[in-house]
């Protein structure tokens, strides 16, 4: 089987592990920088030109698309799909997961538990927004933020008002969410492949930090999910039509609450925490689904 990995850096941990797993399974593999792909649109002949050659003969691709290049990366994935190539992450699922507002709408439509969330179009009625999210403390998130960037915890009504007014003044779109105090600055990342949880870890924010992102100095450890947590992760991936997904959840007094569904979840943190071969699970998923 010939597999393409869409990644801008062949030396990244996740990319290297996927290449290793492809080779271990006896597949031909090529790392493709999706920003260097030219999309050729011709009647009944969708093609991709890469550097100095056409991309042909691929059975499957594994998109590793960064948030900052979602638009073009999704277009490249869509072109591969039009060429009849199986994608481990569908273009529609990739686009929906990167639109935080739409992803939350799709999740709630599927009956998945979420923190109380408010989105508004630069409303000046800040006080009602705060109350709709359950009152302070609240979490304010930039729609375009990643890895904990653009996320603010406002402890008081005055602080929340100041932050919201500042973002409104910058014309920055934000989501306002209920703060789940009982989570204790920790969250769960469940890694879902082909409708099954193949690994899970609990991430704890460093002292004094409510964000648990490993990129921000958080720690991680393996965790055994409850039945409710496992089902929430599986249903979340299904709601966004993702074959591969990292589902982030909070443990709360009313059950698991999904924060976000990541369509290009990193492998380093989950593999180190669980000691499981997650890359191998992704290749097995492709082998079960790609047409050769």
Tell me the percentage of the chain whose pLDDT exceeds 70. Answer: 93
Band (pLDDT 50/70/90 cuts) for residue 213 is low
Tokens coding 265: 């979840």
Q: How many residues does the chain have?
A: 292
Strands lying side by side in the sheet with 47-50: 37-40, 47-50, 53-54
Q: Over the chain, what is the mean pLDDT?
A: 91
Return the pLDDT at 209.
Answer: 55
Q: What's the DSSP call for residue 270?
A: H
Return the pLDDT at 30.
Answer: 98
Return the pLDDT at 36.
Answer: 97
| Residues 1/23, Cβ–Cβ less than 8 Å | no
**pTM surpassing 0.85?**
yes
Res. 32: pLDDT tops 60: yes
Euclidean distance between CA atoms 98 and 174, whole angstroms: 14
Q: 135-178 pLDDT, tens per residue?
A: 999 999 887 655 556 788 899 999 999 999 888 888 888 889 99
Band (pLDDT 50/70/90 cuts) for residue 217 is low
Res. 125: pLDDT tops 90: no
What does the pLDDT average to over 211-215? 53
């Amino acid at each position: 089987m010939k597999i393409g990995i869409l990644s801008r850096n062949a030396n990244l941990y996740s990319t290297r592990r996927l290449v290793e797993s492809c080779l271990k399974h006896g597949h031909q593999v090529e790392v493709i920088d999706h920003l260097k792909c030219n999309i050729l649109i011709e009647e009944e002949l969708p093609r991709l030109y890469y550097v100095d050659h056409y991309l042909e003969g691929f059975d499957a691709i594994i998109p590793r698309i960064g948030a900052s290049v979602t638009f073009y990366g999704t277009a490249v994935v869509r072109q591969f799909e039009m060429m009849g190539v199986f994608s481990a992450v569908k273009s529609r699922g990739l686009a929906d997961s990167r639109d935080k507002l739409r992803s939350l709408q799709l999740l709630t439509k599927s009956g998945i538990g979420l923190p109380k969330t408010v989105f508004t179009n630069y409303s000046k009625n800040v006080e009602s927004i705060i109350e709709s999210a359950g009152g302070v403390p609240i979490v304010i998130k930039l729609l375009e933020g990643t890895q904990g960037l653009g996320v603010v915890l406002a402890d008081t009504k005055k602080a929340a008002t100041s932050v919201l007014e500042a973002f409104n003044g910058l014309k920055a779109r934000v989501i306002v969410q209920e703060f789940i105090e009982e989570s204790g600055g920790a969250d769960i990342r469940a890694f879902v492949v082909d409708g099954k949880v193949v690994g899970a870890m609990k991430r704890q924010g460093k002292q004094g930090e409510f964000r648990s992102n490993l990129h921000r100095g958080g720690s991680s450890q393996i965790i055994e999910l409850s039945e409710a947590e496992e089902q929430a992760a599986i249903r979340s991936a299904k709601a966004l039509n993702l074959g591969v997904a990292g589902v982030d959840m909070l443990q709360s007094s009313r059950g698991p609450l999904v924060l976000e569904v990541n369509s290009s979840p990193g492998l380093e943190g989950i593999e180190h925490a669980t000691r499981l071969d997650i890359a191998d699970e992704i290749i097995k998923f492709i082998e079960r689904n790609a047409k050769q």
